[in-house]
Chain A
Amino acid sequence: MIHSLFLINCSGDIFLEKHWKSVVSQSVCDYFFEAQEKAADVENVPPVISTPHHYLISIYREKIFFVSVIQTEVPPLFVIEFLHRVADTFQDYFGECSETAIKDNMVIVYELLEEMLDNGFPLATESNILKELIKPPTILRSVVNSITGSSNMGETLPTGQLSNIPWRRAVVKYTNNEAYFDVIEEIDAIIDKSGSTVFAEIQGVIDSCIKLSGMPDLSLSFMNPRLLDDVSFHPCIRFKRWESERVLSFIPPDGNFRLISYRVSSQNLVAIPVYVKHIISFKENSSSGRFDVTIGPKQNMGKTVEGVIVTVHMPKAVLNMNLTSTQGSYTFDPVLKVLTWDIGKITPQKLPNLKGIVNLQSGAPKPEENPSLNVQFKIQQLAISGLKVNRLDMFGEKYKPFKGVKYITKAGKFQVRT
């Protein structure tokens, strides 16, 4: 099981260590640094590293490496999932999961880690339970605490801890009872040079914000549940009812949570809402090249495509770029060689275009690789898969809740090859 945890920042300082069994010396991280050096890029550090006596399983989040030390055979996914959960919890508690936030709340972090894992076994990882045990820091609370001398520790056993619904607190009370669902779909796609789709699929989630008093029992049904053939559920969902009736039936956790995530696979036809026309070419034996990119909407069901940003990782030999855009603004980072073009909304009447000259380092050979374009966009009020919520029913409580569903489609890993 998980033996120890080290948090390491990008400059290689170990700024937190926690041991759940005996103490493991910091020097074990040297193997990690070695791998890090070899990988060149921080994102390329392999997640599982073996050392003579331990295994290091790490994740990289928000510029922090969470490195766990393992001594026995243990499922790596279990460790990785747990580490992500730790990062999520920090995010939840401190608003961000950064080195400063962690350092500023060192004691709470330590208490949290102690509460989340016992002897390497996860103890309490549900945000609701943790928040009952250890109250998140707020300015008000620390002021109150310093005056009254009370602590930010829960004094009693969290109620949900052992019930059959560990995700929900017992006594929840709201004056306004609300249940909101956000259907968020991301399109992952690879578009080839000629504009045809190599691969496309939709990763969808339904994020919920539920503030309902008591113990509500909800049923959410869809107009077209057939779309959902590959789903991952929050533990609150009753699997049997889904299997038999294709209805999501659940007693929700309190607050924000992810109800389901789903994938509409590449076997179904995925509508691609934008197209990109591009010319990126480098001349032989010359230190310049041409860059000309136009982006336009297609298949967007009459909705506006907005928040469009195009990023391009230019080849290493590129020195700078001299471009003019008809819409939006562009920046080129000469160190990372990243071109970012922030376009905003696409109006079909006047398609945004960015073109100009690429300057290469003098004497550098013509770059071999063709840079890929990464496109981000957003479409409000549309779930591109066509998924639609039919109705939400509530049982078990008398009041009438306020209900709402929002749809949004975004680009996920949307790449255009050139």
Chain B
Amino acid sequence: MTDSKYFTTTKKGEIFELKAELNSDKKEKKKEAVKKVIASMTVGKDVSALFPDVVNCMQTDNLELKKLVYLYLMNYAKSQPDMAIMAVNTFVKDCEDPNPLIRALAVRTMGCIRVDKITEYLCEPLRKCLKDEDPYVRKTAAVCVAKLHDINAQLVEDQGFLDTLKDLISDSNPMVVANAVAALSEIAESHPSSNLLDLNPQSINKLLTALNECTEWGQIFILDCLANYMPKDDREAQSICERVTPRLSHANSAVVLSAVKVLMKFMEMLSRDLDYYGTLLKKLAPPLVTLLSAEPELQYVALRNINLIVQKRPEILKHEMKVFFVKYNDPIYVKLEKLDIMIRLASQANIAQVLAELKEYATEVDVDFVRKAVRAIGRCAIKVEQSAERCVSTLLDLIQTKVNYVVQEAIVVIKDIFRKYPNKYESVIATLCENLDSLDEPEARAAMIWIVGEYAERIDNADELLESFLEGFHDESTQVQLQLLTAIVKLFLKKPTETQELVQQVLSLATQDSDNPDLRDRGYIYWRLLSTDPVAAKEVVLAEKPLISEETDLIEPTLLDELICYIGTLASVYHKPPSAFVEGSRGIVHKSLPPRTGSSESAESPDAAPSGAPPSEQPAVIPTQGDLLGDLLNLDLGPPVSGPPVATSSVQMGAVDLLGGGLDSLLRSDVGGSPAMGGTGFTAPSTVMPANLGPPPSGGLGDLFDLAGGVGTLSGSHVAPKTVWLPAMKAKGLEISGTFSRQVGAISMDLLLTNKALQVMSDFAIQFNRNSFGLAPAAPLQIHAPLAPNQTVEISLPLNTVGSVMKMDPLNNLQVAVKNNIDVFYFSTLYPLHILFVEDGKMERQMFLATWKDIPNENEAQFQIKDCPLSADAVSSKLQGSNIFTVAKRNVEGQDMLYQSLKLTNGIWVLAELRIQPGSAGFTLSLKCRAPEVSHYVYQAYETILKN
């Protein structure tokens, strides 16, 4: 007596037989026949030929038969639109049926029939059903509006269904409210501009009431809708949070996660000092942990979201490390996610446990998992300094196992540990070298080669080791080739006498025999560097390496903030904003966390960011192998700020010479017996250098090498055209116009004095009132000859910043007194702040990160710079000219982000994040500074520089 009997008729005349049965007089036979048809449909068989016969069965009192016919209709109406019209009358009639179940069924089915002709007939019944007395019918009709909108959006708008739908948000029945919200959300998603869900405190209140009473699915829709609301102040945010919190105890994990999203978002608005803030933090942990005891699929989604939450607010789960411990029969996708979170939560307090676990995992069966576990050990070493020693010894133990992939992973991470803790663990190099032969993966080979090159002076047979790699140079991957080239050059610089042949060999392999432009270019650069100025080469190649950062794979703070708004959605699983992957990307509205309120500083500051959230921390990623140029010169993070200026300039000169000299220097075979060359001379390649390596324009040069104070300094910072400061009529005929400039570290006030009076002027002197930055004339105003009538003299007055300080309003106000033989005249002027930006204002990247995190968010100010169509590089070089230095640049979903630093003469550091939206010709500038008063003037300086 099972339905499988419906599948048994596979004879030739199946359709024919069914047709006969469908037209049978017997009800029972008819029903059986329809069931057979449905059964065939479920497995994807085409039974559309029976359309008229099945539709004929529609007029029946038997609800089951009716439902079955409806099922059939939904599937096949599209392929038989003309026939489908036959069904319309029955639908319209059913919409008037006294039984609400049938009314609802009819309106529901009609909406599923995606045939234009039918939708026209649907409007009237739908309108009635939306106002039906029975809530079951109303809630079904609400969904039907969404269906209709999908088929014919214009029709829905014209018929005013959207307004009716909005009214349903105020319906007395919570189920209807939930469905109306769901329908509106779906429509809004396809029409982001339509502003359908216009949320206000009243409607929010209604939603919150419905939230308690509707079904679990309805709760999800309502919570997701609430998450889009922007409370007007922290009190409103708190009251919403209070009413959403009970949802955390729901049995449905989707409800829980949607509630977490609302709380995480609104929490942003609560002040951290609030008791409630702490309570909320505590309440968030248990439900998140509970999600991990659910089915593995749920765990996976939960873990992806927890990964975001842990990055945003690590304090929530900091005590819950153990729940992320891996069970051997967890699916691999769960294992990998758990491991990721374990590392994020690792701290000094729990590192011993974590390490013991990781060591356990490193002996598991699954290769991917083992690799990640080994890598995790390295990441722990880098993150928790106290554990580094233990991590290294654990890694050595693992290397002893001789399991190939374990050894390779271990070597890759040990390289990073060397970078992080220089001169501490190099004793293990010997052990590493033993495993040289077993390395067959490019990353591991590259890492090993890097180690050999970096510590060439400690490894006796470094040249032999590297030579052994060189034999199969052309079979290596690019990554290994590049690393080998650099390593051998390092070796040469360290042990020049024995390794000349080797370096010649690798340079010629790289430049002559390789098709890879990166490799060739790097080869040429080294070649020229070595042949031009070996001392400079040493400075460059063996420069002190900047430290690598603690955290890896952190998500960009702005992206993280956006993703927090998408907790529980696909975006949170992929860790990408929906715009990056949702089909068609129908102008998705970017979501952002609400700005933090409740702190008095930001409320007072008129320049407080109008929107957008302050990034709470800065990302930092271990430079990847792909970072070729940076890696090459080891300068991508800028030379150390405190480094001797001589070294910097010599490097710079070398670089300029190198490229400026063009072909000549390349072909110059004799370098003139410089000591490192051992006097043997250095034969340049006989090939002609490709044309594109010819002398590039000097702009690109500074860019290429990104040297602090490179090219820009020479031309000086931006100088505004002179404006009239003191009109002649106010100063008895003396007109003074002027401007400020900064050149090579010197500030000057460029003045133009015009005598518009009829008498000769002489005995000029100038004096400044006390001002915010202590600007004062560094020399007296020297105008040697008396100024004759109608004569103009141009003079540059050098300034220093050692004068007495008094805070002015505006900050950059300067009051000046000028005296001549006639009288004393006073005027005040505003100087652009960038004349105070000093040359050593480039902050080291590490330092930048730390400082950025350190400065409280209230000190951040955000500004918009409009109408400035410049590319990131142009901006960077332009700003550098005025001593605003780009510390790092990155690209986030098509937006270039520049992280910049500058320092004022009085030692105030200002950190900036400049976001460049391609196409909009505008920038968003976020400034962070311990003295937030200056932010506005820095912004003005930015604007002035960029627009000129």
Q: Which residues of A are interface residues toward B (Cβ below 8 A)? A: 1, 14-23, 26, 39, 41, 43-44, 46-48, 50, 53, 55, 58-60, 70-78, 80-82, 84, 100, 103-111, 114, 118-119, 121-123, 125-126, 139, 142-143, 146, 149, 151-157, 161-162, 164, 166, 188, 190, 192, 198-199, 201, 203, 229-235, 239-240, 243, 258, 261, 263, 265-267, 313, 315-316, 368-370, 372, 374, 413, 415, 417
CA distance A415 to B302 in the complex (A): 23
B907 interface hit (Cβ, 8 Å): no
User: In the complex the two chains form, what is the Cα distance from A123 to B295 in whole Å?
Assistant: 23
B residues 36-67 touching A (CB-CB < 8 Å): 38-39, 42-44, 62-65, 67
Q: A92 vs B276: C-alpha distance in the bound complex, in angstroms?
A: 43
Pick from A107, A121, A188, A243: contact of B293, CB below 8 A: A188
For the residues of A in contact with B, the DSSP-based class is mixed
5 closest A-B pairs by beta carbon, nearest first, are A104-B2, A151-B64, A230-B286, A47-B297, A77-B254
Q: Which residues of B contact A240 (CB under 8 A)?
A: 246
A139 cross-chain contacts in B, Cβ below 8 A: 1
Rounded to whole angstroms, the CA-CA distance of A417 and B359 in the bound complex is: 12
Question: A16 to chain B: which residues have CB within 8 Å?
Answer: 42-43
Residue of B nearest to A60 (CB): B297
Known: A18-B42, A77-B301. A111 touches B67 (CB 8 A): yes
Would you mind naming 5 contact pairs between A and B with Cβ atoms under 8 Å apart?
A44-B332, A80-B298, A156-B101, A164-B174, A369-B363
User: A-facing mask of B61-88, CB < 8 A → 1, else 0?
Assistant: 0111101100100010010000000000
Is B327's CB under 8 angstroms from A48's CB? no
Asked if A47 contacts B333 (CB within 8 A), the reply is yes
Residues of chain B contacted by A76 (CB below 8 angstroms):
301, 568-570, 573
Cα A118 to Cα B111 with chains together (Å) = 10
Tell me if B331 and A44 are in contact (CB < 8 A): yes
Verify A232–B249 contact, CB threshold 8 A: yes
Residues from chain A with a CB closer than 8 A to the CB of B28 are: 146, 149
Question: Which A residues are in CB contact (< 8 Å) with B213?
Answer: 164
| B365 CB-CB contact with A under 8 Å | yes
Residues of B within 8 A of A263 (CB): 286, 289-290, 293
With A and B bound together, what is the CA distance between A13 and B556 in angstroms? 43
Stretch at the interface among B372-380, B544-552, B578-586, B856-864: B578-586
Q: Hey, which chain B residues are within 8 Å of A107, CB to CB? A: 3, 6, 35, 38-39, 68
| Complex-state Cα separation, A105 to B39, whole angstroms | 9
Q: Is the CB of A239 within 8 A of B64?
A: no
Q: In the complex, how many angstroms separate the beta carbon of A246 from the nearest chain B beta carbon? A: 13
Is B581 within 8 A of A81, CB to CB? no
Which residues of chain A are near B111, meaning CB under 8 Å? Answer: 119
Chain B: residues with CB nearer than 8 A to chain A?
1-4, 6-7, 27-28, 31, 35, 38-39, 42-44, 62-65, 67-68, 71, 75, 78, 99-101, 104, 108, 111-112, 114, 134-136, 140, 143-144, 146-147, 150, 173-175, 179, 182-183, 186, 189-190, 213, 215-217, 220, 224, 246, 249-254, 256-258, 286-287, 289-290, 293, 295-298, 300-302, 319-320, 322-323, 325, 327-329, 331-333, 353, 356-357, 360, 363-365, 401, 403, 568-571, 573-574, 578, 581-583
A68 CB to nearest chain B CB (Å): 11
CB < 8 Å neighbour of B257 from A41, A77, A157 = A77
Query: What's the A-B contact tally at a CB cutoff of 8 Å?
Result: 264
Which residue of chain A has its CB nearest to the CB of B212? A239
Contact A199 B143 (CB under 8 A): no
Residue numbers in B under 8 Å from A316 (CB-CB): 365
Are A114 and B71 neighbours in the complex by a CB distance under 8 Å? yes
Contact of B215 among A44, A78, A122, A313 (CB under 8 A): A122
Interchain nearest-CB distance for A213 vs B (Å):
25
* Contact of A239 with B249 at beta-carbon distance under 8 Å, contacts A72-B189, A106-B39, A156-B99 already known: yes
The answer to whether A415 and B327 touch (CB under 8 A), given A106-B39, A106-B42, A125-B217, is yes
Closest to B104 in A: A157
**Whole-angstrom CA separation of A63 from B668 in the bound complex:** 74
Tell me the complex Cα distance, A261–B295, Å: 14
- Residue of A15, A75, A109, A118 near B220 (CB, 8 A) is A75
When distances are taken between beta carbons in the complex, the residues of chain A under 8 Å from B3 are: 103-108
Assuming A73-B571, A114-B67, A232-B290, is B328 touching A78 (CB within 8 A)? no
Whether B143 contacts A119 by the Cβ 8 Å rule is yes
Q: Which residues of A contact B99 (CB under 8 A)?
A: 155-157
User: Which of B71, B175, B257, B319 sits near A162, CB closer than 8 Å?
Assistant: B175
| Given A72-B189, A231-B249, A368-B403, residue A118 in contact with residue B44 (CB < 8 A) | no
Question: Is there an interface contact between B363 and A368, defined as CB atoms closer than 8 Å?
Answer: yes
Which residues in A have their C-beta under 8 angstroms from that of B100? 157
Q: How far is the CA of A19 from the CA of B574 in the complex (A)?
A: 26
Known: A122-B215, A149-B27. 11 other contacts (CB 8 A): A16-B43, A47-B301, A59-B295, A60-B297, A77-B301, A119-B111, A119-B143, A166-B215, A192-B356, A203-B293, A417-B328
Q: Which residues of B contact A100 (CB under 8 A)?
A: 4
Question: Do residues A23 and B329 form an inter-chain contact, with CB atoms below 8 A?
Answer: no
Q: Inside 8 A of A108's CB, which chain B residues have their CB?
A: 3
- A74 in complex: contacting residue of B42, B108, B570, B574, CB < 8 Å: B570
- Closest residue on chain B to residue A20 by CB atoms: B112
| Cβ-closest chain B residue relative to A54 | B583
A201 vs B323: C-alpha distance in the bound complex, in angstroms? Answer: 9
Chain A residue contacts of B250, Cβ below 8 A: 232-233, 235
In the bound complex, residues from chain B placing their C-beta under 8 Å from that of A258 are 251
* Cα distance, A50 to B575, chains bound together (Å): 13
- Which chain B residues border A47 with CB–CB below 8 Å? 296-297, 300-301, 333
Residues of B within 8 A of A142 (CB): 1
**CA of A118 to CA of B144 in the docked complex: distance in angstroms?**
9
What residue in chain B is nearest A57 (Cβ atoms)?
B297
Q: Is the CB of B44 within 8 A of A121?
A: no
> Which residues of chain A are near B289, meaning CB under 8 Å?
230, 263, 265
Q: Which residues from A are CB-within-8-Å of B302?
A: 77
A residues less than 8 Å from B583 (CB atoms): 53, 71-72
| Among A119, A239, A370: residue with most chain B CB under 10 A | A119
B42, A110: Cβ atoms closer than 8 Å:
yes
Contacts of A203 in B (CB 8 A): 293
Taking CB atoms, residues of chain B closer than 8 Å to A111 are 64, 67-68, 71
User: Contacts A121-B182, A161-B136 known; A261 to B251 CB distance under 8 Å?
Assistant: yes
Does B135 lie within 8 Å of A162, measured CB to CB? yes
The chain B residue with its CB closest to the CB of A203 is B293
Partner of B298, one of A81, A229, A413: A81
